[in-house]
Amino acid sequence: MNKTQKATIKIINRAYTKLSILNNIKWTAYRDELFNLNLRDEKRHRQSFGSGRKFDSPMADCARLFVVRNIAESLIAPNLYQVSDLLQVRESAIKSQALVNTYYDRIMDALKDEDIHELANLDYIQLIDYPEYERQQVMKAEYLARKAA
């Protein structure tokens, strides 16, 4: 794991810790529930590759990334998903939106010192496969340069 990935994990963990307020609203530990949903999805995703694929980051880091990113995305776009999206979108993303719609003020207060747009743009590929992330960034820059020309 490189310095950039370590810095990203630090950002994720800081925001994730602040989202512990979701565990203390009702009897349900919502943040932990989101984590478990994302951990389950990440396990399934990795199993689909078989044992030959190497990942730079542990599954728990990736699960926390999705908890933080989905909450941040919902803060920016609180009506991003509809009920019918449950068939195509991660359950945790829709649950995150429901939590933001219900507890917006508490969540914003907890994340007041965080850059919500940075959190919403956390890149899964950057965390699990940095060389692939760099390759995609080069391709994106080339595409934008061609488009601008």
Condensed to tens digits (0 to 9), the pLDDT of residues 50-105 reads 777 888 899 999 999 999 999 999 999 999 988 888 899 999 999 999 999 999 99
Q: How far apart are CA 17 and CA 64, in angstroms?
A: 10
Residues 102 and 74 sit within 8 Å (Cβ to Cβ): no
User: What does pTM read for this prediction?
Assistant: 0.91
